[in-house]
Structure 1
Amino acid sequence: MTGQTPLLAVEKVETFYGNIRALNGVDVSVNQGEIVALIGANGAGKSTLMMTICGAPHARAGRITFDGTDITAMPTHEIARLRIAQSPEGRRIFPRMSVRENLQMGASLDNMQYFDQDVEKVFALFPRLKERIDQRGGTLSGGEQQMLSIGRALMARPKLLLLDEPSLGLAPLIVKQIFDAIRELNRTEGLTVFLVEQNAFGALKLAHRGYVMVNGAVTMSGSGRDLLANPEVRAAYLEGGRH
């Protein structure tokens, strides 16, 4: 992976909420075909970084490039058009819409000719959604809603999939299904994934590389395997936290 230009490069990024600095000079990169995990405690700034990549809020300092394009000041809808798709924290599916309608909302207008084909791919990945195709999103279980949120993001045929806390609040068996699906997408389709997770053990097992964030700054980085073995990481994030 060395020597190549990253698909996503976050350089010296600072993000503020009013006068409060939430991100402090963050440097993160994601190469084509990688799964990269960002771990850290609740409130470390992980979700803020995800939102800043998507342009809401915008970075006040630093630079974000995607596939050679500077997206730092770009509006969110234009960033999405570059085929960055996000499954946000809290899922944010449309509760009154059916599973099918939620997936339609995720599909890019440019790719509607592939709609049926893409829906079948999502159903192959998450068969439970096929069983619930006409059910309202709000009546699904938490795990099914997370599958739907990821499926909706995949309908945009992303070059980069951003996943914000996909395992949050879910039973270990469901978490395993979701992580297995992410691994399969990466292995079979080369999908590039940037994953924010409090479940450090699951995320680092899944990821090629990882970053640790503390108080809005990246404090450590390395391969998933190296971070799993790191005594500091183990003490802070992994003791008793295996899922």
Structure 2
Amino acid sequence: MSTAGIPLSVDAGVQPGPARKPLLSVRGVKTFYGNIIALKGVDLDVHEGEIVTLIGANGAGKSTLMMTIFGDPRAREGTITFAGRDITRMPTHQIAQLSIAQSPEGRRIFGRMSVFENLQMGASINKMAHFNEDLERVCTLFPRLKERLQQRGGTLSGGEQQMLAIARALMSRPKLLLLDEPSLGLAPLIVKQIFTIIKELNEKDGMTVFLVEQNAYHALRLAHRGYVMVTGNITMSGSGKELLENPQVRAAYLEGGHH
């Protein structure tokens, strides 16, 4: 069921601390693939210390927004700012050096490299400054990876590869963690584990997280605030709780026995 045409709700989400400039701000962003418009003027904010989720059907433009934030593809119109700095035209490698890390859709780990080498690649962005400390931290978060440090990434299970993709992103000590479809194709038990870890990163470490997710139920339960995207437009926003309880959101994204 489409939610196109639903008015934007008042954004009454949890915003930790006093009102201040967002850590990430997206304004009027339009992105094209050739002549086809994928994002049609997107506005979205992520404040420091928040988990913000973007939900929507497959093909709505969620991953395109995530990739546009990282500079590939580029926004043709609009602006993207991070910590007050305009990053709209910045090359991807420079964006990564500003303490933004991405765990992309489909994991995209280095399959021929060991788990340890994948983690080194993540740490290389800040020149291995705290490698041993950060390695210990991600091995505590993901004990499964600790057992498999010398194993090739490509031989891991889907769930382990997703853990590795998140761990690799964390090795750069990001101020903002972008997670694109972390639950995709995983067993429910592994999904639960990964969402628990995201919550822990936010609550214990104060990690700011922008989460793109098809599993609307888990994402909205986890998030302080959420946005709904339909065919390249943001159609609704609100607190995670508001969106979970919204009848249109429930009808479009939550029917099918999520408990």
TM-score, length basis structure 1: 0.98
| 1:72-116 Cα distance to aligned partner (Å, 9 max, x none) | 011001100101100000000000000000000000353523101
User: What's 1:209 paired with?
Assistant: 225
Cα distance in 2 for residues equivalent to 1:12 and 1:77: 23
Choose from 94, 105, 117 the match for 1:78: 94
Cα distance in 2 for residues equivalent to 1:161 and 1:241: 30
8 A contact 1:7–1:31 mirrored in 2: yes
Choose from 99, 112, 131 the match for 2:115: 99
TM superposition shift of 1:12: 0.6
User: What's 1:235 paired with?
Assistant: 251
* SS of residue matched to 1:152: helix
Are positions 1:4 and 2:20 aligned together?
Answer: yes
8 A contact 1:199–1:241 mirrored in 2: no
Alignment of 1:5-154 (within 5 A): 5-154=21-170
User: What's 1:157 paired with?
Assistant: 173
* SS of residue matched to 2:25: strand
8 A contact 1:7–1:66 mirrored in 2: yes
| 1:171-210 Cα distance to aligned partner (Å, 9 max, x none) | 0000000000000000011000000000000000010000
Worse-matched range after superposition: 153-162 or 106-115: 106-115
Cα distance in 2 for residues equivalent to 1:127 and 1:210: 30
Determine what percentage of the aligned residue pairs are the same residue.
Answer: 74
User: What's 1:170 paired with?
Assistant: 186
Q: Which amino acid aligns with 2:155?
A: T
More helix by share: 1
8 A contact 1:201–1:241 mirrored in 2: no
| 1:140-172 Cα distance to aligned partner (Å, 9 max, x none) | 000000000000000010010000000000000
Cα distance in 1 for residues equivalent to 2:133 and 2:125: 15
Cα distance in 1 for residues equivalent to 2:169 and 2:100: 9
TM superposition shift of 1:240: 1.2
Q: Which amino acid aligns with 1:159?
A: K
Choose from 195, 200, 206 the match for 1:184: 200
Q: Which amino acid aligns with 2:104?
A: P
- The RMSD of aligned alpha carbons is 1.0
Cα distance in 2 for residues equivalent to 1:132 and 1:238: 36
User: What's 2:4 paired with?
Assistant: none
Cα distance in 1 for residues equivalent to 2:205 and 2:19: 23
User: What's 1:197 paired with?
Assistant: 213
8 A contact 2:176–2:210 mirrored in 1: yes
Structure 1's unaligned 5+ residue stretches are: none
Cα distance in 2 for residues equivalent to 1:241 and 1:33: 31
Distance of aligned partners of 1:135 and 1:218 in 2 relative to their CA distance in 1, 3 Å threshold: same
